[in-house]
Amino acid sequence: MTDSTPHENGANAGVRPGHYYGYGIPYLPIDGYPGKIIAIEGTDGVGRSTQIRLLREWLEVQGYGVIETGWTRSTLMQPTIELAKSSNTLNKLTFALLYATDFADRLEKEVIPALKAGFIVLADRYIFTALARAQVRGIDRTWTRNLYGFAIAPHLVFYLKIDERTLIRRVLESRGMNFWESGMDLKLADDIHDSFRAYQRSLLREYNSMADEFGFRLLDAKRKVEAIQEELRRQIGEFLAESDSRPI
C-alpha cells in the first residue's frame, strides 16, 4: 500500500453531519432523514457507557426515541470478533476489516433505520476508534479512511479526553489490564503495564490528532461523572433546540 494525501472520498473533514463521508452506500440514500447521531468517543475506561446510560434516560424522559449502538455489538460479527480476539490469530489487516464489517452491519440494520424514524442514535464509540487503532498498527491512513467512506458523519462527537496516568490508575482500580486494551499484539513490550502505557499513549495521540479534523467536542474525563453528564446535556440540549428536533 502506498501512502498519499487523504482522499477526498474517505472519512474526512468538511462533510455535513448526517451525510456519508465518502462514496457511501448507493442503495441506501439517507438525505433528509430526521434522526441524529451522537457519538461518544474515548479510549478504554474513560466512562463512556455510564455517560450514555444517563443520556439515554434524560432523552427518553423528554420523549425522544433513542437507540444505542456500540463497537463490535453487531449480531453478525460479535461472535467472530470475540473468537478472533481469544485465538489471537488474525493480523492487523483482517482485524481492521472485521471491525468495518461489524460497523457496516450495525449501520445498515440499526443506525440508518433509526435515523429514518427520527430517533437519536447514541453511539458508544464510532469510526474514530477504528481509525486510531488502525493508525497505531501502521495501516495506511488513506486506505482506512476510504474504507469508512460508507459511514455517516455524526451530528455531534464528544471526546472524553484523559491523560495516560489517570487512565492507568482507573483501569487498574476497576478491572485490570487485558491483552487487547494493552495492545499486546503490537509487541511493544513484554510487560503488560509497559505495553498498555505505550499503546494507550499512541492511541491518545491519534485521537488528539483527529479532534480538529472531525470536530470533536472535548470533555475532560477526569471530572466527576455528574459534571460531565451536565455538560453533555447542556450541549446536546442546545443542539437539539437549534436543529429543531422534537420528541417523536
Q: Does 51 bind other proteins (CB under 8 A)?
A: no
Whether 80 contacts 98, CB under 8 Å: yes
**51, 69, 129, 146: which one contacts other proteins (CB under 8 A)?**
146
Q: Please select the residue that binds other proteins; options are 64, 71, 126, 150, rule is CB under 8 A.
A: 150
Check binding of 77 to other proteins (CB under 8 A). Answer: yes
Beta bridge partners of 218: 159
Locate the DSSP E strands across the chain.
Answer: 36-41, 66-70, 120-124, 156-161, 217-220
DSSP string, 106-138: HIIIIIHHHHHTTPEEEEES-HHHHHHHHHHTT
**Cβ–Cβ under 8 Å, residues 109 and 77:** no
Our finding on whether 29 is near other proteins (CB under 8 A) is no
Stretch touching other proteins by CB under 8 A, among 46-54, 103-111, 121-129, 202-210: 103-111
Q: Any idea which residue has 460479535 for its cell?
A: 78
Position among 68, 108, 164, 231 found at the interface with other proteins (CB under 8 A): 108
Residue 62 CB, nearest approach to other proteins (Å): 33
Q: Provide the binding-site residues for other proteins, judged by CB under 8 A.
A: 1-2, 7, 9, 22-27, 75-77, 79-80, 83-84, 87-91, 93-94, 97-98, 100-101, 104-105, 107-109, 140, 143, 146-147, 149-150
